[in-house]
């Protein structure tokens, strides 16, 4: 997608689609900054550190970074490899102080939360952490996810940045890149926890492949709900669903708008596409099925909803094998158990 087209993207729509970015992020230009020195990392790995990110930029520091700040979902992936961060930005704390789904297994009470929603990022708190590296996702080339445009220049002056693709890639590649980064920071990829999780992921991928092969007639719709619109996402635009499609899952193919990621439907037209299973955006920014049951009569009339064949979609996966294996298992089970209910 060209940058001129990207500039037209709406924040609400892109967050709903799960495969795109907001206007602020789109305008974020990521410079190659001078690296700061670090100290011994929590893993015990020492010495000069370098890592080539998915922008093609190589970040170098005098020692393995220990003061790491990262987007919440990326931090959660690193945590699964034994790498802990000092601060996070992005959805971290939900209602009642409970961890957001993107926080994974991290103890959020021990993290400095620099911002919990889009547009929030405390530069003052960030500076106080003496950051040695900032790590986040990338949905479009050179756009740092959840780094606000209005403060990006100040933020990027304080530490070098690392960006890893969350789009324009597939789940296995995204997983490998987070594993590569974790290893560079001192993680042991041969640890039993890691190898067991990878084996589980590979088994789950094969299970999903076989489920899709056994029931090729089952069609899946990727949805996200807001008060006014229902978004139907094109599977190939996100790393997770692109991979599921490669494994043989049959997805509804919406007539996407000029942005290329999704089609917006009014709730009156929510039945435009037939689907046997609906995968619904599980993020706190989206309306959940329980909310829709109460507020959207047309939602309750959908065949998949009436049949109880609605499952969560982990729209922004935590890219560790430990967190991605259950996603594949859940989709495989949904297809295995699904009845053909669409026309």
Stated as kind and residue range, the H or E segment containing 216 is none
pLDDT band at 44 (very low <50, low <70, confident <90, very high): low
Convert the pLDDT of each residue in 244-254 to its tens digit.
999 999 999 99
Given a cut of 50, whether residue 19 has pLDDT beyond it is no
Rounded to the nearest angstrom, the gap between the alpha carbon of residue 24 and the centroid of all alpha carbons in its chain is 17
- Which of residues 35 and 152 earns the better pLDDT score? 152
- Predicted confidence (pLDDT) per residue in 79-128, tens digit: 999 999 999 999 999 888 999 999 999 999 999 999 999 999 999 999 99
Say yes or no to pLDDT of 64 above 70.
yes
Percent of the chain with pLDDT over 70: 87
The answer to whether the Cα torsion of 172, 174, 180, 186 is positive or negative is: negative
pLDDT for 43: 47
Which residues are CB-contacts of 264 (< 8 A; sequence separation ≥ 6)?
13, 229, 230, 231, 257
Give me the pLDDT at residue 257, please: 84
Q: Say yes or no to pLDDT of 25 above 70.
A: no
Digit-coded pLDDT (tens) for 155-165: 999 999 999 99
Question: Which of 232 and 33 is assigned the larger pLDDT?
Answer: 232
Q: What is the reported pLDDT for 18?
A: 47
Between strands 250-251 and 262-266, the pairing is unpaired
Specify the range with the lowest mean pLDDT, choosing from 21-35, 159-173, 264-278, 297-311: 21-35
Rounded to the nearest integer, the mean pLDDT of the chain is 88
Secondary structure (3-state) at 61: strand
Residue 338 has pLDDT above 60, yes or no: yes
Q: Is 50 exposed, middle or buried (0-12, 13-18, 19+ CB in 10 A)?
A: exposed
Nearest Cα neighbor of 170 from 24, 328, 286, 3 is 328
Main-chain phi, psi angles of 220, to 5 degrees: -115, 135
pLDDT at 69 over 90: yes
Whether the CB-CB separation of 197 and 322 falls below 8 Å is answered with: yes
| Residues 93 and 116 sit within 8 Å (Cβ to Cβ) | yes
- Work out the pLDDT band at 45, boundaries 50, 70, 90: low
Model's pTM, two decimal places? 0.84
Count CA atoms closer than 13 A to 272's CA, side-chain side.
17
- Rounded Cα distance, 71 and 147, in Å: 9
């Amino acid at each position: 997608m060209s940058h001129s087209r990207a500039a037209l993207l709406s924040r609400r729509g892109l967050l709903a689609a799960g495969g795109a970015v907001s206007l602020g992020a789109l305008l974020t230009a990521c410079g190659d900054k001078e690296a700061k020195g670090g100290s011994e990392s929590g893993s015990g790995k020492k010495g000069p550190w370098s890592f080539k990110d998915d922008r093609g930029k190589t970040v170098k520091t005098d020692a393995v970074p220990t003061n790491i700040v990262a987007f919440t979902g990326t931090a959660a992936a690193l945590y699964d490899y034994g790498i802990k961060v000092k601060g996070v930005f992005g959805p971290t704390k939900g209602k009642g102080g409970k961890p957001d789904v993107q926080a994974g297994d991290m103890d959020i009470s021990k993290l400095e939360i620099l911002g919990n929603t889009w547009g929030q990022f405390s530069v003052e708190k960030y500076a106080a952490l003496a950051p040695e590296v900032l790590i986040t996702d990338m949905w479009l080339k050179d756009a740092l996810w959840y780094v606000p445009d209005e403060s990006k220049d100040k933020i990027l002056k304080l530490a070098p940045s690392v960006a890893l693709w969350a789009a324009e890639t597939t789940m296995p590649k995204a997983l490998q890149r987070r594993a590569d980064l974790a290893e560079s920071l001192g993680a042991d990829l041969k640890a039993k926890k890691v190898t067991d999780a990878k084996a589980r992921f590979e088994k789950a991928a094969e299970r999903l492949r076989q489920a899709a092969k056994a029931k090729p007639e089952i069609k899946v719709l990727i949805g996200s709900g807001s008060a006014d619109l229902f978004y139907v996402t094109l599977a190939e635009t996100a790393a997770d669903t692109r991979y599921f499609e490669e494994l043989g899952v049959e997805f509804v193919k919406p007539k996407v708008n000029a942005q290329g990621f999704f089609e917006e439907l009014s709730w009156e037209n929510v039945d435009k596409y037939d689907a046997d299973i609906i995968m619904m955006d599980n993020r706190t920014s989206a309306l959940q099925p329980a909310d829709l049951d109460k507020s959207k009569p047309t939602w309750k009339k959908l065949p998949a909803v009436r049949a109880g064949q609605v499952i969560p979609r982990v729209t922004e996966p935590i890219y560790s094998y430990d967190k991605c294996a259950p996603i594949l298992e859940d989709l495989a089970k949904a297809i295995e158990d699904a009845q053909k209910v669409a026309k």
